[in-house]
Amino acid sequence: MIGIFDSGSGGFTVLKAIREQMPSADILYFGDIKNAPYGEKSREELSRLTINSIRVLQARGATSIVSACNSVSASLAVSLFDTLGLAQQNLIEMVGPTVSCFKDFKKPILLAATPATILSELYQNAFRMLGTTIDTVAIPKLAGAIEFGISAKDQELLVAAAFAPYDLKKYGAVILACTHYPLALASFRKVLGDLPFFDPAEAVADRVRQQLWPLEVGNGTLRLLVSRDTPQFRAHVTKLLPDASYVIEVLD
């Protein structure tokens, strides 16, 4: 069984892409809404929450883990594999699959992400190794605002304020390096116009299929766990997975 975790609904973008590529995989999803958003927490807090999320999934039968949260990528250290008894090939994160899609990209890139993701410098270091110019755009509060529900207009204001200092004409793409951000894609498009956007979900799903197929073949069951139930979470499920059969369990 594949276990996927995120701070809330953002990971549905990855879940949807995985189900499209591996429809027979059994999937267990954990949205840690009680502790959302992750993107403004310290590295120590993120390490603790990462370990807890993976243990929640393992305790319920997950044998492979997908971290659908960019903010915790720095917490996925080698020592974690021993701590959790997890083989390295059975843990897929966001950064590697995303960066690999740009190995032949020539133009500068803008990376939109949470403060925690940018402070980790994982993306910056990976792109520098490719010789790619990358600038980062932190958008504080946006992931939480998307998770708990604000108007499209207010989303646009947050995006516009974050991108105001940048000359958009010099960039070839914007990477949405927070899984919540594609849920606000219309707001990004309204503010940034025709600039190409990259949603890493498909790249991560490709990596999951490459590493876990046919290991993770089942009956296509879907089970959703949350640490707190909200109407916004259920609305995101309905929007992104309209035809899916699933059970939602609220953890104590």
Query: pLDDT for 188-228, tens place per residue?
Result: 999 999 999 999 999 999 999 999 988 788 999 999 999 99
Same CATH topology for 2-94+202-250 and 95-199: the answer is yes
Say how far apart CA 198 and CA 202 lie, in whole Å. 10
Do the Cβ atoms of 170 and 37 come closer than 8 Å? no
Q: What is the pTM of this model?
A: 0.96
The predicted pLDDT at position 78 comes to: 65
5-43 pLDDT, tens per residue?
999 999 999 999 999 999 999 999 999 999 999 999 999
Q: If you classify domain 2-94+202-250 with CATH, what class do you get? A: alpha beta
- The one-character DSSP state at 225 is E
CATH assignment of 95-199?
3.40.50.1860
Identified catalytic residue from 17, 18, 68, 69 = 69
Q: Residue 38: what are its φ and ψ, rounded to 5°? A: -80, -25
* pLDDT at residue 252 is higher than 90: no
Give Cβ neighbours of residue 121 (< 8 Å, ≥ 6 apart): none
User: Confidence class of residue 76 from pLDDT cuts 50, 70 and 90?
Assistant: confident
3-state SS class at 121: coil
49-67 pLDDT, tens per residue?
999 999 999 999 999 999 9
**At 92, which helix (H) or strand (E)?**
strand 91-92
- Tokens at 49, concatenated: 């929450």
123-149 pLDDT, tens per residue?
999 999 999 999 999 999 999 999 999
Q: Is 101 a catalytic residue?
A: no
Identified catalytic residue from 113, 143, 178, 225 = 178
Domains of the chain: which residue ranges? 2-94+202-250, 95-199
**At 232, which helix (H) or strand (E)?**
helix 231-240
**At 29, which helix (H) or strand (E)?**
strand 27-31
